[in-house]
C-alpha cells in the first residue's frame, strides 16, 4: 500500500523569521509634527540626549536597558529578596552568571561603567596602557580618568565601513604583540576585547581571534578581559559564520569565550535583557579583594552591588533567555532587515550588519560636511527632525577630543541606530526606513555644526551645538 502523503513529510523551514513572542502589554507612542520636532531639537541644543523621550517616536538612541522584559522576568521580580547581605536573589544571580561565565569572583554593579570604574581604579593609573579592539566611550573615559592611555587595535577591516569581513571586531594580533613588546607587562595591566565591538560597528570577534589574543597575552604574562556586553550576539555570529561552529549551542560558545579570558566587565542592560545592572568578574583573588573594597565604597555590599534583589532576579532570568537560538535568530535577522532597508534607501552603512545596531556612514553620505563639522551629528538631527527617529552619533563628537584638549577627526563618522531588544515590530522598522529614504533624498541640503559648550569628559552626552551658517 503506498504511504500516505503525510507520512515522513517535513515542512520546509519557514522563510519568514518572526518575533518568537506575543505582545503582553503595550506602551503608547505619541505622534509629533515636524514643527514640534524642530522646536524640540533646537531647545535641546541640537543634542539628541537633551530631548524629552516623549517627543521621540522611534527611539533607537541605544539598546542599553531599553529592551522589553519577558513575562518570566517580570515574574522573577516577585522573587526578589531584599536582604542586605547574602540574599537568595544574589545566589540565583551568581549561579546564572557562572553557568555562562565560570569566573571565580563575580562582583555585581549597578551598570557596566561602574564595573569599569572599579576595575580601572584598581589596575589603571598614569603611565599604564590598556589595549582594546575598540574602547567603548565609557571604557575609554574610565581608563583615561586614571591617567592611563586607552589604545584601540582593531583589525584594519574594522575601520573600513564598506569592507566585508565576517569578524570585523577582531583584534589586530600583530599590533597587540608590537604594543606588548614595546610597553612590557609592567605598563599593560590588562588586554581588553569588546564583544561585539560596539564603537566599531557592532562587529563580532571570532573564537580564532580570541584564542590568538589569549596566546599573545600568555606569552607576555598579561591578563585578558572581555567587555562582554553583547556576548550572546557575538556567540550567535560565531555559530553562524565561523567554520566548525554551526553545530554548537550558543551557551557552549559563550563558555568557551569566557574560558579564554581571565575576567570580564559587562552591562546587564544589553544582552542580559535587563533594564539595569552589570558586573565585574575575575579569577584573580587579590584583584577581587581590591575591587570588592572599592565596590563597598561606591556601590554597596558585595552580594548586591548597586542593585535591588529583584534586579538580580531579572538579570538571572534574562541570561537564560539571552542564549535562546530562536530569539537570537530573530534578533540578528530583524537588525539585518533594518540595515538592508536603509542601504536600499540610499544611505551607506557599515557592512556586514552587526547584531544590535545599524551604523550609518554619515561621512560618506555627507562628503560636503567636513569631519570637524560633525557629519554624524548632522545626520542624526535630520533623522529626528524628519521622522522623530532618535539615533546616536558615534564619530568625531564622541571621540574627536583628545585628553590634551585638541580635536581631530575620529576614525569614522557614524550614526548608530540601536535596536532595543524585543521592543519594536517590523512595521516600526518599515517606518524608520521610510524616514531614512526621505533624509537621503535631502542629503545635499544638510549642513554642519559647531560645539558651543562642552564638558571635560564624555562630551557627547551634554554638549550644546549650533548650526553652521
Ligand atoms: C561595549 C560597551 N561597554 C560598556 C558599556 C557601558 O555600560 P553601561 O551603559 O551599563 O554603563 C556599554 C554601554 O553601552 C557598551 O556598549
- For the segment 403-418, what is each residue's pLDDT rounded down to a tens digit? 788 999 998 899 999 9
Name the grid cell of 128: 599604564
Instruction: Summarize the confidence of residues 379-390 as an average pLDDT.
Output: 98
355 touches 237 (CB < 8 A): yes
Residue 16 has pLDDT above 90, yes or no: no
Q: For residue 81, report the distance from its CA to the centre of ligand 1, in Å.
A: 27
Q: pLDDT > 90: what percent of the chain?
A: 91
Instruction: Summarize the confidence of residues 420-437 as an average pLDDT.
Output: 97
Instruction: Summarize the confidence of residues 120-130 as an average pLDDT.
Output: 98
In the Cβ-directed half-sphere of 52, how many Cα atoms lie within 13 Å? Answer: 10
Q: For residue 101, report the distance from its CA to the centre of ligand 1, in Å.
A: 18
Least confidently predicted of 3-7, 212-216, 464-468: 3-7
Q: For residue 135, report the distance from its CA to the centre of ligand 1, in Å.
A: 10
pLDDT digits (tens, 9 = 90+) for 322-374: 999 999 999 999 999 999 999 999 999 999 999 999 999 999 999 999 999 99
Q: What residues line ligand 1, using a CB cutoff of 6 Å?
A: 64, 111-113, 136, 138-139, 194, 198, 227, 229, 267, 269, 278
User: Looking at residue 55, what is its pLDDT?
Assistant: 97
Could you tell me the pTM of the whole model?
0.93
**219-245 burial, b for 16+ CB within 10 Å, e for fewer?**
ebebbbbbbbbbbbbbbbbbbeebeeb
The CA distance from 55 to 31, in Å, is: 8
Question: What single DSSP character describes residue 152?
Answer: E
User: Looking at residue 3, what is its pLDDT?
Assistant: 54
Residue 1 has pLDDT above 70, yes or no: no
User: Looking at residue 4, what is its pLDDT?
Assistant: 63
Instruction: Summarize the confidence of residues 303-317 as an average pLDDT.
Output: 97
User: Looking at residue 12, what is its pLDDT?
Assistant: 85
User: Looking at residue 457, what is its pLDDT?
Assistant: 82
The Cα angle at residue 260 between residues 256 and 266, in degrees rounded to 5: 85
Instruction: Summarize the confidence of residues 129-158 as an average pLDDT.
Output: 95
Chain centroid to CA 40: 27
Amino acid at each position: 500500500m503506498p504511504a500516505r502523503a503525510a507520512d515522513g513529510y517535513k515542512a520546509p523551514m519557514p522563510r519568514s523569521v518572526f518575533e518568537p513572542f506575543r505582545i503582553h502589554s503595550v506602551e503608547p507612542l505619541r505622534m509629533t509634527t515636524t514643527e514640534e520636532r524642530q522646536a524640540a531639537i533646537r531647545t535641546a541644543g541640537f543634542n539628541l540626549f537633551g530631548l524629552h523621550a516623549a517627543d521621540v517616536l522611534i527611539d533607537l538612541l541605544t539598546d542599553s536597558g531599553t529592551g522589553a522584559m519577558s513575562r518570566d522576568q517580570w515574574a522573577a521580580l516577585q522573587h526578589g529578596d531584599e536582604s542586605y547581605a547574602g540574599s537568595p536573589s544574589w545566589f540565583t544571580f551568581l549561579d546564572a552568571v557562572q553557568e555562562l561565565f565560570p569566573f571565580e569572583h563575580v562582583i555585581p554593579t549597578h551598570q557596566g561603567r561602574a564595573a569599569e570604574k572599579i576595575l580601572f581604579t584598581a589596575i589603571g593609573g598614569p603611565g599604564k596602557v590598556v589595549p582594546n579592539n575598540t574602547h567603548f566611550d565609557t571604557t575609554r573615559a574610565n581608563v583615561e580618568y586614571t591617567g592611563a592611555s586607552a589604545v584601540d587595535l582593531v583589525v584594519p577591516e574594522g575601520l573600513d565601513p564598506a569592507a566585508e569581513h565576517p569578524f570585523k571586531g577582531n583584534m589586530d594580533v600583530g599590533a597587540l604583540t608590537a604594543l606588548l613588546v614595546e610597553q612590557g607587562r609592567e605598563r599593560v595591566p590588562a588586554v581588553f576585547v569588546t564583544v561585539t565591538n560596539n564603537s566599531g560597528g557592532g562587529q563580532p570577534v571570532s573564537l580564532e581571534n580570541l584564542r590568538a589574543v589569549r596566546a599573545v597575552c600568555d606569552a607576555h604574562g598579561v591578563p585578558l578581559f572581555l567587555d562582554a556586553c553583547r556576548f550572546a550576539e557575538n556567540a550567535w555570529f560565531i555559530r553562524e559564520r565561523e567554520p566548525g561552529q554551526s553545530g554548537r549551542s550558543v551557551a557552549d560558545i559563550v563558555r568557551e569565550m569566557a574560558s579564554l579570558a581571565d575576567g570580564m566587565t559587562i552591562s546587564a542592560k544589553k544582552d542580559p535583557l535587563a533594564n539595569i545592572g552589570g558586573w565585574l568578574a575575575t579569577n584573580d583573588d587579590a584583584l577581587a579583594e581590591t575591587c570588592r573594597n572599592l565596590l563597598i565604597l561606591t556601590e554597596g555590599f558585595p552580594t548586591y552591588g548597586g542593585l535591588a534583589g529583584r534586579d538580580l532576579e531579572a538579570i538571572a532570568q534574562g541570561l537564560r533567555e539571552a542564549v535562546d537560538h530562536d530569539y537570537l535568530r530573530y534578533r540578528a535577522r530583524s537588525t539585518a532587515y533594518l540595515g538592508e532597508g536603509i542601504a536600499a534607501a540610499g544611505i551607506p552603512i557599515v557592512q556586514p550588519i552587526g547584531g544590535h545596531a545599524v551604523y550609518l556612514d554619515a561621512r560618506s553620505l555627507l562628503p560636503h560636511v567636513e569631519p570637524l563639522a560633525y557629519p554624524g551629528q548632522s545626520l542624526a538631527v535630520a533623522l529626528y527632525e524628519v521622522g522623530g527617529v532618535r539615533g546616536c552619533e558615534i564619530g568625531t563628537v564622541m571621540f574627536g577630543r583628545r585628553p590634551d584638549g585638541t580635536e581631530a577627526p575620529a576614525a569614522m563618522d557614524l550614526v548608530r541606530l540601536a535596536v532595543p531588544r524585543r521592543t519594536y515590530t517590523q512595521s516600526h522598522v518599515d517606518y524608520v526606513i521610510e524616514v531614512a529614504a526621505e533624509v537621503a533624498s535631502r542629503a545635499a541640503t544638510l549642513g554642519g555644526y559647531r560645539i558651543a559648550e562642552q564638558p571635560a569628559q564624555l562630551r557627547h552626552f551634554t554638549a550644546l551645538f549650533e548650526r553652521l551658517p
